[in-house]
Amino acid sequence: MATRARTLLRYLAIGFLVTSIAGVSVASLIAGGPGSLTEARSAFVTSVHLAGGGPPPEPPPEELFERVKYPAPLGESWAYVSPPSREGRRAGVVYVHGGFDWSIGALSWSCLPRENDQSGRGLWRDEIALMLPSFRGNHDNPGEPECLYGEVDDLIAAADYLATRPDVDPDQVYLVGHSTGATLALLAAQMTDRFRGVFAIGPVGSIEDYGEGGCLPRGLRMKESVLRAPMELLELTRSPTVIIEGNTQPSNSDLLPLFERYRGDAPIEVLGVPGLDHFSVLAPATEVIARAISRNRDSGRPFIDVQDIVDVAPQPCDVSRLEGTGTAEPATWVERPPAQWPQMVLTNEAQFSERTALSGASAFFLEAADDVLLLATARHLTGYAGGVEPPLDDAALLLPARFARQLRSWTVFPRTQPERSSNAVGLAEPAILGDWLVLTLAAARPPEQVVALRLASLPVSRGDAVYLVGCPYEETDCVQNVYGGRVTWRMDHRFGYTLDPPVDVRGFSGAPILNEAGRVVGVFSVSEDLDTTDDGRHVEAEADDRLVQHASACRRP
C-alpha cells in the first residue's frame, strides 16, 4: 500500500513538472488556472488497452438487485441495481469495489468477514437505490480495460443512468468507492459536479502508488500516469468529497496528509480512522455513510465523523436475538457427572430445493430473550462440508425470505431417537456472525428431556476449562458424549482447545462447547491441521465464538 515514492508529486512540489496536456500545463491547472481534468483528457487518447472479456454477470438474488445494462460511452454495459421502490424517490448510490477487475458477481451478496467485507452490504438500505456497475472490457461489455482511464467515463455514465431511474431523486446521487474504486471515485469527482457527495475509502494519489501490483504497463508516456493520478488535480475537485482511510497498517494512511495539503480550496474532507486498517474500515464506513445519506437528504451534504465510524467498527447491535442473553449463573445440572448431563446435542436432517440433503452433524437449542427457543448449528454445514450441493448461496444466509424459499424441511433430534424431533422453520437472523447459523423453530419448547442451553456472559480465555458435547460418526449408537479440555489459544473469534479423551471429530460440526458453568462459549467449527493420535483421533479442536463475543458486547439495558 502506497510504498513507492510518489515521483510525480515530488516533481510538482518543487516545480519541475511542466508537462503540457491538451495545451494546458498540469502546473497551471494545479495552480488554479483555467481548465479541468475533463479538458486535460479531451485531446488525449490512451494507449493502454488490457486483456478483458468474459461471460455476462450471474443473475443476482432478485430480492437485492436487478441485472441491467446502462448506456456507457462504448456501448451498453452490465450493472446490478436495486429493484424499484414503490415508496417514492430516494437517494441513489453508485458503489465501486476495489481491485483491478471491475466485473460484478457473487461478491455483492457474499457473507464476508466484517474485517474485510467488500460486498458493499453496509449500503443496503430501503432509503437507497444501490447500483454496482461493471466497466469496459469486463464481462462481454464493449471495449477493453484501460486501467482507471476510460472507466472514469463509464462510472459517470452509470451515475447518469441511476439518476434516470423512476425511484431515484436525480439531485441525490452519491458515489462510494473502496481502494482502486476509491481512486476511480476521486477521478470522477474531478470530472463532474453531478454527485451530491463522493466518499473515497482508501484511495491512492497516483497510479504509481500501486507499484508492481498495479495495472499500468511500464515505459508509458508521463501523461498516462498524470491523467490517472487524482493527487495531481485534487484542487480542481468538483463534487463534494470525503476521503477516508484507516490509520492502522496495512493502509494508505501515509497519503492523508498529502491529500489534506493538496486539496486547496476544493470541497474535500480528509478523515483518518484510528484502530482500523484499509480493509476493516470499509464495513463501518459504508454503514455510517448510508446512515448519513438517509438522514440528511434535505440538509445538504451528509456529515460523517471519525468517531461515528469508530463507534460502529465492532458488529453493530440489533442483529441477533441472542444479544444480552448470556449468563454467568451455573446451569442447574452442571454439578452432576458429565455422563448424567441432560440431552443437549442433536443431529440434523434437512432438505433443500434443488440441492442434496444435509444429514448428520450436530446442533443444539438456545434460549433467547423472552424464553424464545432457537436452534444453533454451524453455517458451513449448508455447503459442501455438510453434503449440500450446490451450497446454499450466501444471499439465502443473509435474507430470511430467500432462505425460506430454499428450505423444504429441517428436523433435529437426538441421534438414534428420531421420535424426539423438532422442526426448524426459517432463518432467525442473518448468518453474519462467524460460523454460527441460528434458526427459528416451530415449537416453543424443546422435546421432553432435551435441554435448551444459554450463552455464556463472557468469552473464554486461554487456560479456561471447556467441554465439547457431541457424537462421533464412528459410534453408531452414541446419543451424547462429553469431552473435557482447556483452551490453548485464541485468535479473533476462534479458539483452540484440547480433547480428553481424543476423538475422531467427524460429526461434531455444529456441536456446543460449554464452560464450567454449563454455558455455551462456542460452536464446533471446521478444524484443520490439528494434532491427532497415531490412529487419527484428534487431541485438539477449534470453535467459533463470534456470537458469544457479540452477545456479550451488546448487553440489553
How is 313-353 classified by DSSP, letter by letter?
Answer: SSPPSSS-TTTT--B-SPPTTTTS-GGGSPB--EEEEEEET
Question: Sheet containing 241-246: which strands, arranged edge to edge?
Answer: 66-72, 75-81, 128-133, 90-96, 168-178, 197-201, 241-246, 268-273
* SS3 (DSSP) at 77: strand
Q: Cβ contacts of residue 22 below 8 Å, gap of 6+?
A: 39, 40, 41, 42, 43, 44
- Give CA–CA dist 133/159, Å, rounded: 9
Chain-centroid distance of CA 255 in Å reads: 25
Residue at grid coordinates 471491475: 102
Q: Per residue in 350-378, is it b (16+ CB within 10 Å) or e — as a string?
A: bebeebebbebbbbbbbbbeeebbbbbbb
Q: Cβ contacts of residue 288 below 8 Å, gap of 6+?
A: 304, 308, 309, 312
317-556 has the same fold as 66-312: no
pLDDT at 3: 38
Angle ∠(6,45,225) on CA atoms, nearest 5 = 5
In 3D space, the residue among 321, 374, 327, 317 whose CA is nearest the CA of residue 521 turns out to be 327
Please check whether residue 171 is in contact with residue 197, taking contact to mean a CB–CB distance below 8 angstroms: no
Name the pTM for this structure. 0.84
Burial tier of 85 (Cβ tally within 10 Å: 0-12, 13-18, 19+): middle
Angle ∠(331,333,338) on CA atoms, nearest 5 = 115
Query: Grid coordinates standing for 289?
Result: 455513510
The CB density around residue 59, as the number of other CB atoms within 10 Å, is 10
Please check whether residue 8 is in contact with residue 229, taking contact to mean a CB–CB distance below 8 angstroms: yes
- Give CA–CA dist 91/97, Å, rounded: 19
Angle ∠(430,525,364) on CA atoms, nearest 5 = 70
- Give CA–CA dist 99/475, Å, rounded: 48
Burial tier of 240 (Cβ tally within 10 Å: 0-12, 13-18, 19+): buried
CATH class of 66-312: alpha beta
pLDDT at 22: 39
pLDDT at 35: 59
* SS3 (DSSP) at 49: coil
Per-residue pLDDT of the chain (557 residues; tens, 9 = 90+): 443 334 334 333 323 333 334 344 454 444 334 457 888 888 899 999 999 999 999 999 999 999 999 999 999 999 999 999 998 999 999 999 999 999 999 999 998 889 999 999 999 999 999 999 999 999 999 999 999 999 999 999 999 999 999 999 999 999 999 999 999 999 999 999 999 999 999 999 998 888 766 788 887 888 888 899 999 889 999 999 999 999 999 999 999 999 999 999 999 999 999 999 999 999 999 999 999 999 876 656 667 999 999 999 988 888 899 999 999 999 999 999 999 999 999 999 999 999 999 999 999 999 998 889 999 999 999 999 999 999 999 999 999 999 999 999 999 999 999 999 999 999 999 999 999 999 999 999 999 899 999 999 999 999 999 999 999 999 999 999 999 999 999 999 999 999 999 999 999 999 999 999 999 999 999 767 778 888 889 999 999 999 999 999 987 55
Which CATH code fits 317-556? Answer: 2.40.10.120
pLDDT at 27: 44
Query: Grid coordinates standing for 280?
Result: 476493516
- Looking only at the bridges linking them, the beta strands covering 90-96 and 128-133 are parallel
What is the domain partition of the chain in residue ranges?
A: 66-312, 317-556
Residue at grid coordinates 493502454: 48
Burial tier of 99 (Cβ tally within 10 Å: 0-12, 13-18, 19+): middle
pLDDT at 171: 95
pLDDT at 535: 87
Q: What is the DSSP letter of 389?
A: S
